A and B are shown apart, each in its own frame.
Chain A
Amino acid sequence: NAGVTQTPKFQVLKTGQSMTLQCAQDMNHEYMSWYRQDPGMGLRLIHYSVGAGITDQGEVPNGYNVSRSTTEDFPLRLLSAAPSQTSVYFCASSYSLRGYPFVEYFGPGTRLTVT
């Protein structure tokens, strides 16, 4: 298994540009989520999904869109990039075991700079 993969690893955008951060997992996990990590702020949840076709907002959803058309993929879209979105973005997936949520697996991250 490749686990959770993210592309690209690094990206530089100009203010106002749009882009999609890709996330894929090959473990057949029903839960997927996106976090951003900023110095002094820790990791914060952006959006999450409990299965194909179902998404919901986390703590910091503004400026980001998600969709989940398949179990494997959970892309994060920045519609109009702003310098405040400069961050490291992590995708994660997890499963439930006997009805209880279990271990979260994280991707390697995408380092995004918006100028």
Chain B
Amino acid sequence: KQEVTQIPAALSVPEGENLVLNCSFTDSAIYNLQWFRQDPGKGLTSLLLIQSSQREQTSGRLNASLDKSSGRSTLYIAASQPGDSATYLCAVKGMTGGGADGLTFGKGTHLIIQP
């Protein structure tokens, strides 16, 4: 059974710092890995998707990497801003259902950016 772990569970940093969120998964047979953002009381917003054949994806100040063989992904946030405060979730799409089954999520990293 796939298991996804996110470290740290919580992180508080001053505005302007660069930071890294970590995600690890136990089964490397994945189609893709997605990073989501969730604001309190809200739904999930997809930030980046990395296909299993890719090594990284970038969107603005966000960069996500994937090392499928070691079962690891990182989300790098450059020049953090208070608006980045949210819970960040990592999720993998397994290959057992031909890509049609759902995602396996980590429990998230709760990020606070101090003004």
Task: Give the shortest distance, in Å, between A73 (CB) and chain B (any CB).
Answer: 18
Give the secondary structure class of B's interface: strand
B63 proximity list for chain A (CB < 8 A): none
A103 and B102 within 8 A (CB): no
Q: How large is the interface on B (under 10, 10 to 19, 20 to 34, 35 or more residues)?
A: 20 to 34
Q: Residue B105 at the A interface, CB < 8 A?
A: yes
Complex alpha-carbon distance, A37 and B97, angstroms:
22
**In the complex, which of the residues A43, A96, A100, A105 contacts B105, with contact meaning CB atoms closer than 8 Å?**
A43
B102 CB contact (under 8 Å) in A33, A41, A42, A107: A33
Within 8 Å CB of A105, what residues of B?
46
Interface string of B31-43 (1 = CB under 8 A from A): 1101010000011
Taking beta carbons and an 8 Å cutoff, which residues of B are in contact with A? 31-32, 34, 36, 42-46, 49, 51, 89, 91, 93, 97, 99-108
